[in-house]
Amino acid sequence: MPDSLSPTHPLALAPVFAPASTKDGFVEQFLHNLNFDQGVALSSSSATDQYLAVAHTVRDYLMARWLEDLRRQRETQSKGVCYLSAEYLLGRQLDNNLLASDLTEIAREALAECGISLDDIRAEEVEPGLGNGGLGRLAACFIDSLATLGVPSIGYGIRYEYGIFRQTFVDGQQVEQPDAWLTVGSPWEFAHPENAQTISFGGHTETYDDEGVTRSRWVPGWNVQAVPYNYMVPGYQNGRVNTLRLWSAVATDAFDLRIFNSGDYEEAVRAQTFAETISKVLYPEDSTPQGKELRLQQQYFFVAASIHDFLDNMLSEGYDLSNLPNRVIFQLNDTHPVIAVPEFMRVLVDEKHMEWDAAWAITQQCFAYTCHTLLPEALEVWPVELLGRLLPRHLEIIYRINEEFLTAVRAQYGDDEMLIRNMSIIAEHPVRSVRMAYLATVAGAKVNGVAELHSQLLREKVLPDFDAFFPGKFTNVTNGVTPRRFLRLSNPELSRLITAAIGDGWVTDLERLRELEPFAEDADFRRAFAEVKAANKRVLSTVLRERDGFAVSDGHMLDVMVKRLHEYKRQLLKVLHIVSTYEGVVSGRVAVSDVVPRTVIFGAKAAPGYAMAKRIIHLINAVGEVVNNDARLEGRLQVLFPPNYNVTLAERVIPAADLSEQISLAGKEASGTGNMKFALNGALTIGTDDGANVEIRQLVGDDNFFLFGMSEPEVDALETAGYRPSEFYQADPQLRAAIDLIASGAFSHGDRSVFEPVVSNLLYEDRFMVLADFASYVAEQGRVDAAYADQDAWTRSAILNVARTGFFSSDRSIGDYIDRIWHTPPAL
Ligand code: NTF
């Protein structure tokens, strides 16, 4: 910086220019970036070069605002949110960033002038798939809303070199390919190796005398460097740009030498290997953590880096740490970042020399925990042996937290050993382990579930003792989705129609969609709405033809089930419905002319180690193969399973859907967010009373929702009474015929062994009660068929779904977090 420019001079605060807000400016900047960043002339540039140059142009445009927001957040020192999440399933960035900066039309015209189509450029972007499913996508929606609402905040996570695997099918079976999303580089990120944090692992602890005070300290065995990569998170046309900071692990010479000198060669090699692997790959387990050592390393790696980053770089000089609760709230996105709690305590007590009680009081105000599941197997536990080996000081801290907590429990309830064992953060069986959800609950100022039903079950069934012990700690924040990506961007035609009717205020105030209700009674509007749906189907049909070579039939009801493959979500129920329809026709029970033409679209990845889920994928493909090619069906039933369902494909599928399948066993799906996206885009839902389906149905009304299946209390009662799936099989000839057809080898070239494990699991175990809900599901699908026959009435319902689901904006969710949990001040 020149001497004459003081740090407060305007030119020192922001870049010297804010380019590209006009078409000519965009052209100039684009060509400049093409020449100077990519090193090519327009005439010799590839589509990738052009994409990168456009991305840089948008990035440059946002830069001034970003730097200003960073400065403002550092200067004001008002309370902000640190969102800690191991996953951010971002989706493509270009379109979103163009929209947020209101540059879409300028870019389109500018590129056209250069002979380039913006649509072609968009297709070049590889989406960053740094998440598994709902949890990671929720985090991405939340950072969008935080920026749009102008909440001082930062998202912290991991910059996985490989995101969620790319799914391919070989002979109908899932084969995973690595997701090398960084091959052409990521134009949206800024590496800051100079701000790397050193993250330690292993070693031992010791006590020492500090002028008469006995203190503990951790003497680590090895360490890695955490390099921050910053991503811009622009708010929607509000001039705000927040930050997402993702950490990448690298080895350093420094640690090599230190450990090498200590003589422990094996440890040094180990550390170096780990340094390179810690941020290498996203674990593809959704809902079923495998308890792998590397995963705990990833978790500690990113939360330790984030906490130190916050304390070192976000606080003003000499900040009084006892004020931290007025300055920050760390929101724990599920149990993955919960190791942040003992790390924060370690920093306060061991490094800042704070008294334990004072530090604990601060910690309990600085953290809040969101639980995203009800499945017991999804609640993370870490064996004490592993945690103690990797993070010995943290284990000591967890023990002390637990000891003091259990003392308090005893003081209230007496020596009820059963209760103590149930509430202990440390589980004794099958191996001594740390229950991360309990640790988070004890430490968190608030604990929230992600839909009303989920929060209720969390309090009543998963953590009832904690709810009694900590009155007022539990709350609900129903999930939401960003209307920018999942309506405005992904459904431009519907957006235009809505805006023409009620103005564009809905983009940031989604409840305004209510104003559409009267239009449901307007025949012209219904016609226009139906035309939009038809146009979206044509777009999807083109995408699937180009992407997968599928031929999508015209005039079909589009019936969609897209989500991770998990038994509790019950893709098998949908398969049984398809098989049953097919069986009805081929057996002559049903006249083919009575089959309402449907195209069923599946999208689902299975965790690579989840054998049953992979078999179900195989079965879906096998059923599709037979059904799609059997002339007796006269093309009235089509089953399509495009591989590698991701955010980019979701943005095409959801706007085109007529029917949204949300058919989990009641009490198992915490919330769901796909369900919200479909309703918001005018698909009708067939669903159980589960997760956020409950709230969707309440809002759209029973007449505009197809409810089926047992309620959660009914599931509970059946479980208590003793569920025997084979009884349902015996009692229902239609169900029997469908299962028998699968068992006969009809979908496996006569080989009965291929799907035998699926069939016997259904008949003898069926943990998620597919057979118990089958009859109800099929009956409700009959009502779907009947309703679809009256297209005008269907469209009316679809419009009401759009009009009444504004509640599911992630802006509303964030508002609830602010009111119920964070208590952050109004936007700066
Ligand atoms: C998921 N949880 C739930 O299964 C979904 O119902 C919910 O919509 C999303 O979280 C977002 O809240 C998980 O992925 C996990 F990991 F917690 F099991």
Q: Where are the domains of the chain?
A: 77-92+127-476, 483-814
Cα 42 from Cα 24, distance rounded (Å)? 16
- Mean pLDDT lowest among 58-62, 278-282, 423-427, 493-497: 58-62
CA distances to 14, 520, 658, 794, 804 from 799, in Å = 46, 6, 12, 9, 9
- Residue 284 CA to ligand 1 centre (angstroms): 14
Q: For ligand 1, atom 17, which residue shows the shortest CA distance?
A: 372
Which atom, in ligand 1's list, is nearest to the CA of 673? 8
| Ligand 1, atom nearest to 378 Cα | 18
Cα of 458 vs centre of ligand 1, distance in Å, is 13
Is the CB of residue 287 below 6 angstroms from any atom belonging to ligand 1? yes
**What residue type is assigned to position 684 of the chain?**
L
Pairing of strands 474-476, 447-449: parallel
What is the torsion angle, in degrees rounded to the nearest 10, for the CA atoms of residue 162, residue 163, residue 169 and residue 172? 130
The architecture in CATH of the region 483-814 reads: 3-Layer(aba) Sandwich (3.40)
Q: Which two tokens stand for residue 813?
A: 């969710």
Centroid of ligand 1 to alpha carbon of 793 (angstroms): 34
Q: How far is the CA of 134 from the centre of ligand 1 (A)?
A: 5
Ligand 1 pocket, residue 133 CB under 6 Å: yes
The half-sphere exposure of 173 on its side-chain side, counting CA atoms within 13 A, is 11
Q: Which of 87, 130, 135 best tests ligand 1's pocket when mutated (most atoms within 8 Å of CB)?
A: 135
DSSP codes joined into one string, 500-544 = HHH-SGGGT-GGGGGGGGGGGG-HHHHHHHHHHHHHHHHHHHHHH
Choose among 619, 624, 643, 635: nearest CA to 548: 643
155 lines ligand 1 (CB under 6 A): no
Q: Is the CB of 331 under 6 A from ligand 1?
A: no
Query: Catalytic residue numbers?
Result: 372, 563-564, 569, 673, 677
Q: Is the beta carbon of 87 within 6 A of some atom in ligand 1?
A: no
Q: Looking at residue 268, what is its pLDDT?
A: 64
The mean per-residue pLDDT over the stretch 37-41 comes to 94
The answer to whether residues 715 and 769 touch, using CB atoms and an 8 Å cutoff, is yes
CA-closest residue to ligand 1 atom 16: 287
Q: Who has greater pLDDT, 2 or 148? A: 148
813 in contact with ligand 1, CB cutoff 6 A: no
Question: What is the gyration radius of the CA atoms in the chain, in angstroms?
Answer: 28
Closest CA to ligand 1's atom 10 = 135
How far apart are the CA of 672 and the centre of ligand 1, in A? 7
CB 334 less than 6 A from any atom of ligand 1: yes
pLDDT at 7: 58
Q: Could you tell me if the CB of 179 is within 6 A of ligand 1?
A: no
Q: Relative to the CA of 289, which ligand 1 atom is closest?
A: 16
Provide mean pLDDT across the span 26-55.
95
| 254: pLDDT strictly greater than 60 | no
CATH code of the domain made up of 77-92+127-476:
3.40.50.2000
Residue labelled with tokens 């999440």? 85
- Choice from 132, 373, 817 to test ligand 1 binding pocket (greatest atom count within 8 A of CB): 373
Q: How far apart are CA 142 and CA 144, in angstroms?
A: 5
Mean pLDDT on 221-245: 95
**432 alpha-carbon distance from chain centroid:** 30
Segment holding 171, helix H or strand E? none
8 A C-beta contact, residue 547 and residue 532: no
Measured from the CA of 372, which atom of ligand 1 is nearest?
Answer: 17
The two structure tokens encoding residue 362? 């601060």
d(CA 436, CA 382): 8
319-366 confidence digits (pLDDT tens): 999 999 999 999 999 999 999 999 999 999 999 999 999 999 999 999
Burial string for 209-240 (b: 16+ CB within 10 Å, else e) reads eeeeeeeeebebbbbbbbbbbbbbbbbbeeeb
| The pLDDT of residue 563 is above 80 | yes
Across 115-119, 124-128, 290-294, 599-603, least confident range: 290-294
**607-663, pLDDT tens digit by residue?**
999 999 999 999 999 999 999 999 999 999 999 999 999 999 999 999 999 999 999
Distance 31 CA to ligand 1 centre (A): 43
Structure tokens at 66: 């970003």
Question: What is the number of residues in the chain?
Answer: 828
Buried b (16+ CB within 10 A) or exposed e, 143-165: bbbbbbbbbbbbbbbbbbbbbbb
Indicate whether residue 647 lines ligand 1 (CB < 6 A). Answer: no
Measured by CA distance, the residue closest to atom 8 of ligand 1 is: 672
Q: What does the pLDDT read at residue 16? A: 46
* Ligand 1 center to 82 CA (angstroms): 20
- Choose which residue among 137, 338, 450 to substitute to test ligand 1 binding: the one with the highest number of ligand atoms within 8 A of its C-beta: 450
Residues 6+ apart with CB under 8 A from 523: 792
Residue with the smallest CA separation from ligand 1 atom 18 is: 287
Going from the Cα of 666 to the center of ligand 1, the distance in angstroms, rounded, reads 15
In ligand 1, the atom with minimum distance to the C-alpha of 137 is 11
Spell out the alpha helix ranges (H) of 227-313. 253-261, 265-277, 293-309
Q: Whose CA is nearest to atom 2 of ligand 1?
A: 372
Distance CA(528)–CA(795), nearest Å, equals 10
> Model confidence over 200-222: pLDDT tens digits?
999 999 999 999 999 999 999 99
Q: Which atom of ligand 1 is nearest the CA belonging to 669?
A: 6
Distance 136 CA to ligand 1 centre (A): 8
Instruction: Give tens-digit pLDDT for 748-788.
Output: 999 999 999 999 999 999 999 999 999 999 999 999 999 99
Q: How far is the CA of 137 from the centre of ligand 1 (A)?
A: 10
Q: What's the pTM?
A: 0.96
The pLDDT > 90 percentage for the chain reads: 89
Contact (CB, 8 A) for 261 and 281 = no
Atom of ligand 1 nearest to the CA of 479: 12
Nearest of 74, 78, 152, 81 to residue 368 by alpha carbon: 81
Instruction: Look up the ipTM and state it.
Output: 0.97
Ligand 1 atom nearest to CA at 375: 18
Q: How far apart are CA 527 and CA 519, in angstroms?
A: 11
Facing residues of 368 across strands?
A: 331
450 ligand 1 Cβ < 6 A: yes
What's the 454 CA to ligand 1 centre distance in angstroms? 11
Measured in Å, residue 378 CA sits from the centre of ligand 1 at: 10
Q: Which of 399-403's residues contact partners 24+ apart within 8 Å by CB, and which partners?
A: 399/426, 400/356, 401/341, 401/342, 401/345, 401/360, 401/425, 401/439, 401/442, 401/443, 402/426, 402/442
In the prediction, which pLDDT does 775 show?
A: 98
CA-nearest of 350, 346, 366, 349 to 358 is 349
- pLDDT band for 582, please (50, 70, 90 cuts): very high
What pLDDT is recorded for position 287? Answer: 73
Residue of minimum CA distance from atom 5 in ligand 1: 672
Q: Angle of helix 523-548 relative to helix 791-804, nearest 10 degrees?
A: 90
Judge if the beta carbon of residue 134 lies within 6 A of ligand 1.
yes
Q: Is the CB of 691 under 6 A from ligand 1?
A: yes
Q: How confident is the model at residue 1 (pLDDT cuts 50, 70, 90)?
A: very low
Does ligand 1 have an atom closer than 6 angstroms to the CB of 378?
yes
Amino acid at 573: L
Ligand 1 within 6 A of 662 CB? no
What pLDDT, on a 0 to 100 scale, did the predictor assign at position 6? 66
Q: What is the pLDDT of residues 178-195, one digit of tens each?
A: 999 999 889 999 999 999
Question: Which ligand 1 atom minimizes the distance to the CA of 287?
Answer: 18
Instruction: Please state, in angstroms and as integers, the Cα–Cα distance from residue 454 to each residue in 162, 475, 695, 760, following that order.
Output: 32, 10, 11, 31
The answer to whether residue 4 scores a pLDDT higher than 60 is no
Q: Which residues pair with 328 in a beta bridge?
A: 80
Chain centroid offset of residue 628 CA: 33
Tell me the CA–centroid distance for residue 689 and ligand 1, in Å: 17
Atom of ligand 1 nearest to the CA of 371: 17
Average pLDDT over residues 302-325: 95
Distances (CA, A) of 226 to 130, 199, 682: 17, 7, 44
Tokens of 366: 């600085």
Nearest protein Cα to ligand 1, atom 15:
287
Strands (E), 772-821: none
Tens of pLDDT along 219-229? 999 999 999 99
